[in-house]
Amino acid sequence: MLRRYSRVAAVVAAVLAGTALIKPVSGPEKVRNIIFINGDGMAAAQREAARLYYAGFDGQLIMDSLPVSGQLTTSPHDPHSPITDSAAGASAWATGQKTFNGAVSVDVDGKPLPTLGAQAKAAGKATGLVTTAQVTDATPAAFFANTSNRYAQDDIARQYLQHSKPDVILGGGEDWWLPAGTPGAYPDQPAEDPAEGSRGSQGNLISAAQTQGYRYVSTPAQLAAARSGPVLGLFGNEELFQIASEGQGDKYDPPVSLATMTGKALDLLSGSRKGFFLVVEEEGIDEFAHYNNGARMLQALGEMEKTVRLVRAYAASHPGTLVVVTGDHETGGLVVEDPGTGDESGDGVSAEDGPFPVKGSDLTFNLDWTTGGHSGSDVPVTAIGPRSERFTGKHPNTYVHQVLLDALKG
């Protein structure tokens, strides 16, 4: 069992209350903990839009203030497309090999590859995943499962329990853990999205998890009451938000915030004698960018920024913690523009979005979308802690695996 450190809970509470002081990390070169944070769909334009909106002209996001920065390319090895999806992108991080879109940590021939989640377990570390998507969605799955089909989310859940065994699993996607016709804490066909409902084919995996010693939680109060792991927390049928265009039923209001889930994961994992490996993902950036929904995308970016603030404060008080913040790809072909600029990309899905205020200024900016899909833009990577200096420069996304695997080895 993982035990709780009260100091962790105090740091988390202070950050969420806005009272924590962020201090530079100075610690031993040896890496004890790894916290890897993915802003799904987040590239340079998304970060700049968030900076203007939340920090203003002279401000800086916490995620951009991390002392080491570089770039990652994102292309997959896919016979049909030079542009990655989330599965191939995350698999490159998790395995060090490029693969085809839709693949989760298998090579181009469909052969399973060793993942960082399994490698962290083998190194004696506790492991965890936190996401506002389904816990079995592409990014977390790539670190803890293997399949040629990213949409086989019930099989991914089964692999978590039978093989990789993360100590903390927090996010959405209860539908995939229960057989069709067996609703759980979240009812089938909810009013906000009647298409949602239990759809698993692997039996009752929540019961299976409980049999294995997982504590199952589905509400904020239950999560807050968890004092030791392992913990499985599912807080919605699917994603923890409602995806749509502006004013068409779109909603970003997770039952438990990304920062709260991350804080609890840190609290639970910190009792591990050999440290931990934690994957954190904000999915809303990508999903709302697919709908060219700038307002909700900015909301999701703001929640990710709160999470990075919390994680950096944790690292400041826990020497030996490596923090890495990046994105798997860019979504929306986004450009940040002056409101007076003509909309060269036209109407419809690629129409301009805005204006949005620049914090502390009378000026505004527009978001100009060029696609409802992904683009091939490089993504920034920022980092702090031991080994973080290796992220300086421009690298393929597979390079992440090399750095993190070396960090796991000490």
List all residues 6 or more positions away from 370 whose beta carbon is below 8 Å from its beta carbon. Answer: 332, 333, 334, 335, 345, 350
Q: Is 155 annotated as a binding residue?
A: no
Residue 229, CB half-sphere, CA atoms under 13 Å: how many? 28
Q: Is 347 annotated as a binding residue?
A: no
Q: Is 137 annotated as a binding residue?
A: yes
User: What residues are labeled active site?
Assistant: 86
- State how far the Cα of 259 lies from the Cα of 254, in Å rounded to an integer: 11
| Token pair of 83 as six digits | 């542009």
Q: Is 238 annotated as a binding residue?
A: no
Phi and psi at residue 106, in whole multiples of 5°? -125, 155
- State how far the Cα of 262 lies from the Cα of 299, in Å rounded to an integer: 17
* 41 contacts 332 by C-beta, under 8 angstroms: yes
List all residues 6 or more positions away from 155 whose beta carbon is below 8 Å from its beta carbon. Answer: 145, 147, 202
- Give the three-class secondary structure for 372: coil
Q: Is 40 annotated as a binding residue?
A: yes
Q: Is 374 annotated as a binding residue?
A: yes
Q: Is 286 annotated as a binding residue?
A: yes
| Token pair of 38 as six digits | 């993915």
| 3-state DSSP of 126-159 | EEEEEEEEECCCHHHHHHHCCECCCCCHHHHHHH
Residues belonging to the binding site for Zn(2+) are 40, 286, 290, 328-329, 374
Residues belonging to the binding site are 40, 137, 139, 281, 286, 290, 328-329, 374
Residues belonging to the binding site for Mg(2+) are 40, 137, 139, 281
